[in-house]
Every structure is written in C-alpha cells, then in structure tokens.
Structure 1
Amino acid sequence: MTSMTQFVGFGGIVLLGAMSPGPDFAVVVRRSAVSGRLHGMAAATGIAVGVFVWVVASTTGIAALLAASATAFTVVKVAGAAYLLYLGARALRSALRTGGELELDLPDPGRSGAAAAFTEGLLTNVLNPKAALFFVALVPQFVGSGASMGETLLLSVIALMGTVAWFLVVANVVGTLRRVFARPAVRRAVDGLTGAALITLGIKLAATTRP
C-alpha cells in the first residue's frame, strides 16, 4: 500500500517534470501570449488531462506496452513529432506576418477558442511517447503491480493537480503581461522563439529511440 509520504514524493517529481522546458511549456506560453489568459489556462488543463491519462496508462500497464512495442512507439512518436512541427510552422508563419497592433481578447486566427487550446495542450502531451517512458519508469517506484483502483486514481489526480497548478501559474503570469506581448515586435519574437522551439522539439522527438 502506498503511503502518504510516497504520494507527496510522487507529486513533487511530477511537478518538477512539468516545470522542465518542453513542448507543453512552449504551447502554454504561446497560447497565453497570443490568445490570452483563458486560452493559456485551457491549454494548461489539456496538458494536465494528458498527464492524468499517462498515469492511468502506466498503472494499468498500457504505457508499458507502448514503450515495449516498437511499432506502437514509432506510431505515437511520428504523430507527436508531426504535430509539434505543425504547431511550430504555424507559429513561425505568424511571426513572419506583418500588421498593426494586435487586438486583445480575440482567439488565435483560424482557431475556435478555448476548446481548441485545450485540444492543443492535450494532443501535445498525449502524442509524446517520452511522457510514456517517464511515467513507466516513475510509477512503479511508488505503486506495485497490484495497485488498487483507489491508489491509481489518487496518483492520477495528484499528477493532474500538480501539472495544472504549475501551468496555470505560467498562463496567468504570461496573461497578465499580455499587453506587452501584444506589441507587434514582441508578438513576432514570441511566435518566432516558440515556433523554433517546437520545431526543434519535434525533430528531437522524431529522432528518439526506445531505451
């Protein structure tokens, strides 16, 4: 049976993982800067739900099967890399646009608001096989193979809450500074940097091999 100390330790490690720079962070920052705090928070929630899914998958053995299967790992890897490259290319295209002052309180052009931001965050996390490898290695350190449904659910909720708490902070900080990010030069810089970061992460993900 998992102790309270183990639950706290698990939550701390997941939080540190969420705080490490990666595609999740880039997506939340860009969404918050471009479309506002609400959209950044929606993307953060989508990422947290993705983490919840990976913890459940790890405790039930599904993530381990993904990590063990070369075909399944490659399919998820290619889909995830393609999605990151798509997001990065879209951000770079936005950076190259010219125009006047960005109107505030409007969603990113061509998107459908908070629901799209949520989906973007969810897919960025769920289509990342590195998340599967992370939780496959982490979860067994805190629960055994015979973990109860209650322990599985509690671990998943802890991971969700820790992840969403961190990214909500990021979304709110960036959202608070949105008038700064709304300046055309700053907006182009944010789009360019996050676009380049997402493309780099997509290429790295495509080159990832199973340990």
Structure 2
Amino acid sequence: MWSTLPAFLGACLLIAMSPGPSTVLIIRNALRSRRAGMLTVLGNESGVFLWGIFAAFGLTAVLDASEIAYDVLRAVGAVVLLGFGVQTLRAARRTGRAGLADAIPDKAAAGGVRDYRAGLLLNLANPKASIFALAFLPQFVPQSVPEGAPHLTAMVALAALWAVFEVGYYALYVWGVDRMRALLSRPGARRRLEQVSGGVLILLGIRLAVES
C-alpha cells in the first residue's frame, strides 16, 4: 500500500477541494465559533469513515445496484439539505442587527452535540458519498491483496486515513474563518453570509431532489 499512498493522498486533496454541502455547513458553523466548526468537521468525517466501512463490507453496492434504495436516500438527502437551508435563512433573519451568537442561544454541551450531529447527518444523507466511497477506495487497494480479511483491513485503513486527512484540511477552513472573525462578526456581513449559505444549501437540495 505504501506505493499507492502518495496517489491516494493526492486524490483525497482533490476530493476535499471540491465544494459541496459539507463545505458550506462547515463554514457556516465556523462563523458561530471555532469549536462549532471543528465539531461539524468531526461529524462530517465520521460520516466519511462510516461510508468507507460500508464500502469495505460491500453494503454501499446495494445503493449502486438498487434504484429504489438510491432514490430513497436521495430523497432523504434532499430533505436534509432543504432543512439546513431553511434553518440557516431563518437564523439570518433572527440575526438582524445582533451577532449570530446572540441570536441563537447555544449551551456548550447541547451545541456541541448539535454541530457534530449536523455534520454527520449531512454526510450520511448524501447518496453520492456512498457511491463515491465504493468507487474510490478499491482503486488504491493493491492488486496483490487477496479478497477477504486482508482486503477488508486495507479498505478500512484507507477509509480512516481519508477521514483523518480531511479533518486536517477542513481545520484550515475553520482556522481561516476564525482569523477573519473581526470582519465576519459584523451583523450585516454575517447576515449576508448566512443568507448565501442558506440559499446554496437549498439549491443543492433542490438539485439532489430533481436529478436522475
């Protein structure tokens, strides 16, 4: 596996650089606090690891083979995206002239669970993530590895490495938003960013709902 590791990490970088719903949610929550952003990252990457595990066991092949199963998950994913989008737009309205942290009371423990759950749910509700894991990970398992337990171990190890790599990558997003906090904390700027984030999430949800 060592010979394929540089190519695998390069592919992980390209995947992480591709914008998607998770990126929008991470940035949106990082606007509230660095802690909220990092917990969202950890939730999202827990989903990445779980899809990798499912792919290793061949469970995501069900979504690839069954149109009904894929459509059900696609509908759930669309509802989740629309829900997050509407929630974000409502938060933007509540922000008004106050900061978002003041507009949305957030106890540390409850908020932490919510942020982690949001990242996890958004990732697990994305059927494309499952199919991508199924197609992506096996390409980097050496051909010399036989089917069975060694093959499974290699897939799980790659899934874990994929998730850890993305934690580091998205931590840079959270750090960048935190460094710009003085600018982004202005009520008008934050409200506009919330509106853009909510609109993007809603559009992604609509696209997921109507695509074949």
User: TM (normalized to structure 1)?
Assistant: 0.89
**Worse-matched range after superposition: 151-160 or 192-201:** 151-160
Identity %: 34
The 5-angstrom pairing of residues 60-209 of structure 1 reads: 60-97=57-94, 99-102=96-99, 108-109=104-105, 112-143=110-141, 146=147, 148=150, 149-209=152-212
Matched position secondary structure for 2:3:
helix
Matched position secondary structure for 2:97:
coil
Measured after TM superposition, the shift of residue 130 of structure 1 is 0.7
Question: Kindly tell me: are residues 185 and 165 of structure 1, through their superposed partners in 2, closer, same or farther at Cα, counting changes over 3 Å?
Answer: same
Q: 2:47 aligns with which of 33, 50, 59?
A: 50
The 5-angstrom pairing of residues 26-37 of structure 1 reads: 26-33=24-31, 35-37=32-34
Contact 1:37 1:176 (8 Å CA) reproduced = no
Query: Which amino acid in the other structure matches residue 4 of structure 1?
Result: W
Q: 1:17 aligns with which of 9, 15, 21?
A: 15
The equivalent of 2:38 in structure 1 is 41
Query: Which amino acid in the other structure matches residue 62 of structure 1?
Result: L
Question: Kindly tell me: are residues 103 and 191 of structure 1, through their superposed partners in 2, closer, same or farther at Cα, counting changes over 3 Å?
Answer: closer
Measured after TM superposition, the shift of residue 103 of structure 1 is 6.7
Measured after TM superposition, the shift of residue 118 of structure 1 is 0.6
Matched position secondary structure for 2:60:
helix
Matched position secondary structure for 1:62:
coil
Deviations 1:9-53 (A, max 9, x none): 2232123112211101000000001x2000000000111111111
Q: Report how many aligned residue pairs link the two structures.
A: 205
Measured after TM superposition, the shift of residue 115 of structure 1 is 1.3
User: TM (normalized to structure 2)?
Assistant: 0.88
Q: Which runs of 5+ in 1 are unaligned?
A: none
1: CA distance, partners of 2:95 / 2:58:
49
Matched position secondary structure for 2:164:
helix
2: CA distance, partners of 1:87 / 1:103:
16
Deviations 1:82-133 (A, max 9, x none): 01101101111222335333175x6944783111111100111111001112
Deviations 1:35-88 (A, max 9, x none): 200000000011111111111111211111122112211111111110110110
Question: Kindly tell me: are residues 159 and 193 of structure 1, through their superposed partners in 2, closer, same or farther at Cα, counting changes over 3 Å?
Answer: same
